[in-house]
């Protein structure tokens, strides 16, 4: 409908509604349900971040399958140098394949690992034994070990006796300054002719930090020759007869001696 204004001119009536006034929102306190929703979202975000970090850390520190893939993690807690002697049973029962090649492979990996992970003045040595014992590597700082020495020369003496090993080791360590010392013995534990009383007395007198028998095989029982209560301080560890598994056993012993952890790298 057309009307007329005061001037007499026709005009059209306003057909569009007037602009509404700006709305105002009352921003009152959030409801409890809203707070719980926000809290749940924050918790989910935090959990996701934690899982990402944990997965990355797990991948970085996954259990190694060989010493070539391993390193010693954490700060070293041993205040001085570590001295470890590799003791090889070269009697006839330990001369059967693949044990000689297993020992050789583990020694090679251990030397590379030690040069990479231990201090240059940490010490390695070697003793081989059957009915008697002889030094295959004098206690030598790692920085001075050249190549890969053979640590299991053949012995002609019969039988398998551990007491000569302890006496020789005690002589080797005389005058050495070691914060921790260990005998890492690769043997089937079929010892003969050793008196438990004499062995117990010699182990106590030598005062090694650790004496460990690494015995090939899975779930092997403690050897009868080491079952006397006076020899309870001698640890027995089984390993699968391959170089990687024996090498890792050496690495775990070094980790324990230095107060660190064996982890993947």
Which class is domain 67-264?
A: alpha beta
pLDDT score for 153: 67
Range of weakest confidence among 13-17, 183-187, 244-248:
13-17
Question: Which has more confidence, 11 or 224?
Answer: 224
The model's confidence at residue 43, banded by pLDDT at 50, 70 and 90, is confident
pLDDT score for 188: 94
Length of the chain: 265
> Is the pLDDT assigned to residue 24 strictly greater than 70?
no
Question: Which has more confidence, 3 or 169?
Answer: 169
Q: Ranked by mean pLDDT, which of 40-44, 192-196, 237-241 comes out on top? A: 237-241
Q: pLDDT digit string (tens) for 102-159?
A: 999 999 999 999 999 999 999 999 999 999 999 999 999 999 999 888 877 666 567 8
Question: Which has more confidence, 135 or 18?
Answer: 135
Question: Which has more confidence, 27 or 132?
Answer: 132
> Is the pLDDT assigned to residue 259 strictly greater than 50?
yes
The pTM for the full model equals: 0.77
Q: Percent of the chain at pLDDT above 70? A: 79
On the CB side of 146, how many CA atoms lie within 13 Å of its CA? 0
Mean local confidence (pLDDT), 28-54: 67
On the CB side of 105, how many CA atoms lie within 13 Å of its CA? 18
């Amino acid at each position: 409908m057309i009307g007329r204004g005061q001037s007499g001119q026709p005009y059209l009536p306003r057909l569009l509604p007037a602009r509404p006034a700006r709305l105002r929102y009352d921003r009152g306190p959030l409801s409890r349900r809203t707070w719980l929703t926000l809290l749940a979202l924050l918790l989910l975000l935090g959990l996701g971040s934690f899982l990402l970090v944990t997965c990355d850390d797990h991948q970085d520190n996954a259990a190694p399958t060989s010493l070539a893939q391993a390193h010693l993690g954490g700060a070293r807690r041993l205040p001085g140098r570590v001295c470890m002697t590799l003791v090889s049973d070269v009697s006839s029962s330990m001369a059967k394949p693949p044990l000689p090649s297993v020992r050789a492979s583990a020694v090679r990996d251990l030397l590379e690992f030690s040069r990479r992970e231990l201090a240059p003045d940490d010490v390695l040595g070697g003793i081989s034994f059957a009915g008697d014992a002889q030094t295959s590597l004098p206690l030598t700082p790692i920085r001075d070990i050249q190549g890969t020495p053979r640590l299991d020369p053949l012995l002609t003496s019969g039988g398998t006796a551990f007491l000569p090993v302890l006496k020789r080791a005690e002589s080797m360590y005389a005058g050495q300054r070691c914060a921790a010392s260990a005998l890492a013995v690769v043997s089937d534990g079929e010892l003969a002719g050793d008196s438990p009383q004499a062995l117990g007395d010699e182990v106590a007198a030598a005062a090694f930090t650790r004496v460990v028998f690494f015995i090939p095989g899975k779930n092997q029982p403690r050897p009868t020759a080491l079952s006397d209560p006076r020899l309870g301080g001698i640890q027995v560890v089984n390993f699968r007869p391959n170089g990687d598994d024996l090498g890792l056993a050496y690495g775990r012993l070094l980790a324990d001696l230095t107060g660190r952890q064996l982890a993947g790298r």
